[in-house]
Amino acid sequence: MLLEIYIRNYALIKELRWSLASGFTVITGETGAGKSLLLESLALLTGNRAAQDKPGDPNSKSIVEGIFALDKEDTGGFFQENDLDFNEETIIRREIIPGGRSRAFINDTPVNLSILKTLGDNLVDIHSQHDVQRIVQPEHQLRMLDMFSNIRTDVRRHEKAYLELKKKEKELLDLQEEQRRSQSDLDYWQFQLEELISAQLDVVDFESLKASVNRAENTELIHSEVGSILHNIQKEDDGILDLLREGKDRINKLKSIAPEFQSLSDRLDSLNIELEDLTHELNLLLQIDDQNSGEIEGNKESLDELNRLMYKHSVQSLDELKELKNSLEYKVANVESGIEKMEHLKNQINIARKDIDTLTRKLTKERQKGAIQLQKQLMSDFQFLNLENALIELDLRPKELSGSGADRLDIKFTANPGRKAESLSKVASGGERSRLMLTLKKAFSEKGKIPTMVLDEIDTGISGETALKVGEFLQKMSSRVQIVAVTHLAQVAGRADHHYYILKRSEKGQTISQLKHLKAEEKTTEIARLIGGDEITTSAKEQALWLQGKMS
C-alpha cells in the first residue's frame, strides 16, 4: 500500500509530505484548491506522462516521490525480471526537469516509463473523473473485464505477438513487391551477366591483350624494319659487324705503340658482344611473331568483345566492367535469395498465426468465464446501492482480430424492471454509471491484488440515500484495500477513517495548495460545511455527527 507521498514544485503545490494509513481516506476542499493535483502527482508514480502545462517555478525541477509497502510474493518477480533491488518499502521517484523532460527511478535506479507503468499497474488503481465517461467505450469495458479476469499479462503477451505478426506480414508484402519489380528485370540482368562471365574478366589482362593485338596488326612493319636492321648489321663487306671487326683489328695494331689503345680495344670488344646479343634478340622477335600468328585472330576477337562491352555499358576500363559484373551477380543472387526469404517468412507467419490463434482462444475463454462471474457479482452489489431493480448484461462477441484479441464487450444496462437492457451510452444516467463503476472497482479489489485504490469523485451524480449507501460501500471496500477518495459528499466523507482538507492560500504573491489532516472536531465542521455551505449551523453539525455514527 501507499505509505507516503512527497511533492515539491508541482503546479500549486510548493512542498508537501503526506503520510497515509490503511483503511478509508477522503480528501475534501473547495473547487480549484488542488485536490485533483494530488491524484495527478500520484499518477506520475504509476508511469503516466507528465503534463506540460503545469505552473510552478520554471527554473527548478519538480519532484514527486512515493513510498510503497510491497509484498515480495506479489511483486518480487517484477524486480527480478528487471534486475532491480527489492525493498519491502520501495521508493518510486519522478523528476520533471525544466523544459518538460522527465526521469523515473525505482529505489534510486533509473527506469523507463514502460517499466514504471508495469509496476504502477500492480500498486495503484487510479480512477479519474473521465473514467465514468469512458465506461461506455467498448475498449475500456474490455480492459476492465481483463483486469477482473486477471489476464492483463496474457493480453500484453497477445499484443506483443500480434505486433510481431503484423511486422512480419508487412515485411512479406514489401519483399513481394520488391520481388515483383525485380523479377521483370531478372532475365535482362542474367543475359548481361552471362555476357560478362563469357568475357572472362577475372583472367584477362586487358593492357597485355591490347599490346599483343597492336603488335600483331603491325607484324609486317616489324618484319620489314627488323629485317632491315639485321641486314645492315650482318651484310658482308660493309655490315656493321664486319666494320666493327675491321676497326678492332686496326686498334689492335696500335696497342703496342700506345697503351691507351688497349682500353679502346676492350670497348670495341664490348660493342661487338652487345651487337651480337642485339642481333640474337632481333632474330628471336621475328621467330616469336611467327610462332604466335595463330593466336592473333583470337586475341583480336577478345579485345573487340571487351571494347564492345565497355561501350555498351558506358564504362572506361576493365575494372569498371568487373564492378558491373559483381553488381549484377548481387542483384541476381538477391532475387534468388528473396524467393527463399519469402518462403521462410511465410513459414514464420504461419507459425505466428497458429501461436496467435492459441493465445486468442485462451483470452476468449478466460473472458467468457470472467464475464459470467463479474455479471453475477455486479448484480449482487446493485442490491446494496439502491439498484435492486437494475439488470446488467456483459455481451461478449467476436470481432476482427486486433492486439487485444478477437473479442468485443458491450455492457448493457437497464435500471427499470421490464425494460430491455441496452448499451450503457444509451440508457445509464451519470449516477447510475458512477455506481456501476464503483461496483466494478469493488470487484477488482476482491479479485486482484492491487493494494491501493484512488477514486477522484466517483460519487458524481449521486445524492441522498444513495450517497449514504456509497459511503458505506466504500468503507466496506477499505477493509480489503486502501481507499483514497476525493469527494464533495458529506455522506461519503462521514464514513472515512481519515479526513484531509486541501486549501489554497497566498504566499509572496503566489497561490499555493496545502493539505491538512483534520482532527475529530475539524472533521465534523468540514462535513457540516459540505452539508450546508460556509455558514455552519447547529443542525448541520448534528447531521455531520450523525453521518459519522456519533449520534443515534
The CATH number of whichever domain residue 458 belongs to comes to 3.40.50.300
Domain final residue, candidates 281, 302, 335:
335
Q: Average pLDDT, stretch 275-301?
A: 72
Please give the pLDDT value at position 448.
Answer: 66
**Domain co-membership, 17 together with 93:** yes
> How many of the other CB atoms lie within 10 Å of CB of 99?
8
- Would you say residue 110 lies in a domain? yes
| Same domain flag for 189 and 314 | yes
359-403, pLDDT tens digit by residue? 999 999 999 999 999 999 999 888 888 888 889 999 999 999 999
Q: Is 327 inside a domain boundary?
A: yes
> Does residue 199 sit in the same domain as residue 329?
yes
Question: To 5 degrees, how large is the angle CA 60–CA 62–CA 63?
Answer: 130
Do 123 and 191 fall within a single domain? no
pTM: 0.65
Mean pLDDT of the chain: 85
Please state, as a whole number, how many other Cβ atoms lie within 10 Å of the Cβ of residue 254.
Answer: 13
Count of the separate structural domains present in the chain: 2
Q: Does residue 71 lie in a domain region?
A: yes
Asked if residue 2 is part of any domain, the answer here is yes
- Rg over alpha carbons for the chain, rounded to the nearest Å, is 48
Residue-range definition of the domain harbouring residue 200: 181-335
Q: What is the pLDDT of residue 46?
A: 92
For residues 118 and 185, membership in a common domain is answered with: no
Residues 97 and 205 in one domain: no
- Report the C-alpha gap between 138 and 84 in whole angstroms: 36
My answer on whether 122 and 216 are in the same domain is no
Last residue of a domain, one of 289, 313, 335: 335
Measured in residues, the chain has a length of: 552
Inside any domain, residue 373: no
Q: Does 162 map to a domain? A: no
Give the tens place of pLDDT for each residue, 304-354: 777 788 888 888 887 788 888 888 888 877 777 777 788 889 999 999 999
Domain boundary among 277, 305, 335: 335
Indicate whether 366 belongs to any domain: no
For residue 539, is it within any domain? Answer: no
pLDDT for res 333: 77
Residues in Cβ contact with 479 at an 8 Å cutoff, skipping those fewer than 6 apart:
23
305 with 188, same domain: the answer is yes
